[in-house]
Amino acid sequence: MTVTPEILGVIIAAFGGAATFLGGVAALNARMMQRIDSRFDQVDARFTQVDARFAQVDARFDQVDARFAQVDTRFDRVDARFDRLEARVDSLATDVVGVQVAVARLEGPQPRLLRP
């Protein structure tokens, strides 16, 4: 079988058409990859913003923890004061009882308890 110029023309035209078609597919694929890359860049930028926001929130939580620690120390001081006051009130109660006993001894027995 001999290859005629018409068959060579058809083969060359088919290769040219295939090359054009595949070139278009490659261009579409390249455009799609660029769009995907730009979208990933946007997503990365958003993640960076979110990470920065998380860092700010963590800093705020640290501040709140420090404030809670201060409040806890204040409550501990108030509890210590209440404990001291309780001890003082207890000692004052025993002192008052002692004073009542001393006053009762000074006054003597009540008249209704004395024998006539």
116: its two tokens: 């006539």
Q: For the segment 87-114, what is each residue's pLDDT rounded down to a tens digit? A: 999 888 888 888 888 887 777 666 666 5
The domain segmentation of the chain, as residue ranges, is 5-107
pTM (global) more than 0.75: no
Q: For the segment 32-91, what is each residue's pLDDT rounded down to a tens digit? A: 999 999 999 999 999 999 999 999 999 999 999 999 999 999 999 999 999 999 999 988
Q: Which contiguous run of DSSP H or E holds residue 79?
A: helix 5-107
CA distance linking residue 55 with residue 36, whole number of Å = 28
Tell me what pLDDT residue 104 has: 79
Question: How much is the average pLDDT of 2-31?
Answer: 92
| DSSP structure class, residue 116 | -
